[in-house]
Each structure stands twice: as structure tokens, then as C-alpha cells.
Amino acid sequence: MDLKNFIRDIPDFPVKGIIFRDITPLLRNKEAFGEAVNRLCDAVKDLDFELVVAPEARGFILGSAIAYKLGKGFVPVRKPGKLPYKTVYEEYQLEYGVERLYVHEDAIERGQRVLIVDDVLATGGTAEALIRLVRKLGGEVAGLAFLIELSYLNPRKRLEGYELRTLIVY
Amino acid sequence: MDLKNFIRDIPDFPVKGIIFRDITPLLRNKEAFGEAVNRLCDAVKDLDFELVVAPEARGFILGSAIAYKLGKGFVPVRKPGKLPYKTVYEEYQLEYGVERLYVHEDAIERGQRVLIVDDVLATGGTAEALIRLVRKLGGEVAGLAFLIELSYLNPRKRLEGYELRTLIVY
């Protein structure tokens, strides 16, 4: 099954000049969704981790299913004002704008190994902020997994030295 | 396992007078998270549906894992400006404010049966909007499943006639 057939290209979203890779056709197809989760799980099976860490909101979709399938805990990373308990944050540069990402300060224990999951690896800026957030709490990044990699934005340059797994490359 | 032990009460979040039920301690505990997903799947096993429909953002976490486990497709319902393709929307009243929920117009086919999933059933206002959204596309609501039910807000009154499954009741 070629998962790329289930990704819909939307030009000029959210801003002019960006081609948005819409994963909703993949998600709504039970075979494609199951296959994507299974392949991501397979791609990280050599990595040792206890928690899946994923950013709001699309990261939750794949991160949660992977955590469930592999019997791991799930840690949501959220935008400002969403997490109710004490938090720490990191800032990052998007393709279009600046954002902060928050996590609960008790979400990761010192020395706990985590897998970072998101739907799209673009510039790597979000991924870098997630890595800093995990390390701020004393966690260790076992690796990062993404459904889609936009290789033309050169994200791997910024993530050298990390175990990086992606399924669909543009 | 008493899943309630993994829910953290946060008073006055997001506004004064609301007790927020924080599910992040449950999510990060692999046993509790796995158990919650398994029990929700078990609670809906008599229902006939093809798609899981869940609202941004916490609904994605449980909805996705349930869809994966049961071999169903997943349809994200999102806040304004997030979905890239053509959408339809419904408005709803929160405990605190008014919001719109959007779904892609091709997310559900006419006659497709769906399970609606979210983390917390509070007043039932979001659930009603989700039902209207599903029906607007010609879908049929096979049932609704929630991790938490705030029975003191009387949500069941607004959802009479629907198959409703909840795990943790306050």
C-alpha cells in the first residue's frame, strides 16, 4: 500500500506558498490508518523508550495510537493556556510564525526515555523545541518518528545525532 | 484498576468555579492508558460503526487509539482555521464561551455510521454539536463514548435516545 496516495496536497494553506500535506484522507481510511500506525511502530521497534511525547493537535492522533499499540504512556505537548497544571515551555520558529510549546512539569521523570512523534517533519523547528522540552525535564530522547518528511526543507540537518524515522518523504 | 485514581482535579481552571479533570496522569501511565482504551473499546463493542469522530484536541488522543484498536477510520473535528480543505461547521455553547467545530465536507459518506469520542462529557453541548455535524454530512450516530462523565451537569438529558457510554462518573 502506497500511503502517499492517501495524502492530499492543498496549495497555499495556511499561507500563500506553502503546500499543506493533508493527512485526513489517510486517517479516515481504516486500512491506510492502521497501516500507517503499524509501519511507524515497526520503524521504532529497535528504540528503547517508555513514553511517547507528541505535540497538539495532529501529533496526538498518531502519537496516541503508537503509544497504545506499543504499551507506552502518552505525554501531550500543548499550546499556551491548555495544560491545567504547572508547566515548562520552549519557544520555536514555525514555517509561518513563532509559538510556544508547553508540557506538565511532572510529565517526564529524570532519565526517562521518550519517543517524539508528529505527523509532519518540516523545517525541524518544532522537533528541536520538543527535544529541548524533553531535556528540560531530564528526559532522554530515544528517537523521533514522523508520518511525513519534507526533505526539501532540510530538517535532518537540524536533527543530526538523533534516531529519526519517517514513512513518507517529499 | 480504579481509573479515577489517575485523574487529577484542578480547581478554577480554565476559569474560576470550574473543576478541571486533568487526564494527563492517566495518559502517561502505560497501564492506566491501555486499560482506559481497552475498556472504552469494550464498552462500544455492541455498536456498529465504520468511523470514529473526535474533536480537537484531547478527543484525538482517545479517539485515535480506539479507532486503531477497533480497525476503524478516524475523522478529526477541528477548531476554526485548522482544516485545509472544504468544511462544514456547527456552533456550540461551552461551559465557558461559544465555539465553532469544523469537519471536512468529504469526511463522512452518506449513511456511514460513526462513533463520537471525547475525553469529558460535561454539559453535552459539544456532543450535540458533534451529532449535528455528523448528520449534516448524512452520517448516522451509532453512539458516543467518553472517558469521563460530569453527571452533575446533567448531560444525559440532552443526549436522550443516543447510545452513550462513559467510564468514570463524577
Q: Which of A57-61, A72-76, A97-101, A117-121 has the lowest mean pLDDT?
A: A97-101
Inter-chain contact A107–B28, Cβ cutoff 8 Å? yes
Inter-chain contact B71–A34, Cβ cutoff 8 Å? yes
Residue B66, domain member (yes or no): yes
Chain A residues at the B interface, defined by Cβ less than 8 Å, are: 8, 10, 13-14, 20, 22, 24, 27-30, 33-34, 37, 50-51, 56-58, 60-62, 64-65, 67-69, 71-76, 78, 81-85, 104, 107
Report cis status (omega within 30 of 0) of the bond before A107: no
- Report the CATH number at residue B146: 3.40.50.2020
pLDDT of residue A47: 98
Chain B residue closest to A19 (CA)?
B84
Residue A122, domain member (yes or no): yes
How many domains, in total, are found in chain A? 1
- Mean pLDDT by runs of 10 across the 170 residues of chain B is 97 91 98 98 98 98 98 98 98 81 98 98 95 98 98 96 98
Cα separation, A89 vs A78, whole angstroms = 9
Cα separation, B78 vs B82, whole angstroms = 6
pLDDT of residue A95: 63
Q: Does the model's pTM come out above 0.95?
A: yes
Inter-chain contact A33–B74, Cβ cutoff 8 Å? yes
Q: Three-state DSSP class for B62?
A: helix
Residue B27, domain member (yes or no): no
Residue B1, domain member (yes or no): no
Residues A79-102 have a mean pLDDT of 91
Q: Which of A17-21, A41-45, B31-35 has the lowest mean pLDDT?
A: A17-21
State yes or no: ipTM above 0.90.
yes
Residue A98, domain member (yes or no): yes
Domain that holds residue B88: 47-169
pLDDT of residue A1: 95
Residue B71, domain member (yes or no): yes
Inter-chain contact A68–B27, Cβ cutoff 8 Å? no
Identify whether B28 is a catalytic site residue: no
Residue A42, domain member (yes or no): no
Residue A2, domain member (yes or no): no
| DSSP secondary structure letters along chain A | --GGGG-EEEET-SSTT-EEEE-HHHHHSHHHHHHHHHHHHHHTTTS--SEEEEETTHHHHHHHHHHHHHT-EEEEEB-TT---S-EEEEEEEETTEEEEEEEETTSS-TT-EEEEEEEEESSSHHHHHHHHHHHHTT-EEEEEEEEEE-GGG-HHHHTTTS-EEEEEE-
Identify whether A140 is a catalytic site residue: no
pLDDT of residue A15: 86
pLDDT of residue B105: 98
Where does the pLDDT of residue A105 fall: very low under 50, low under 70, confident under 90, or very high at 90 and above? very high
Tell me the pLDDT of chain A averaged across its residues: 96
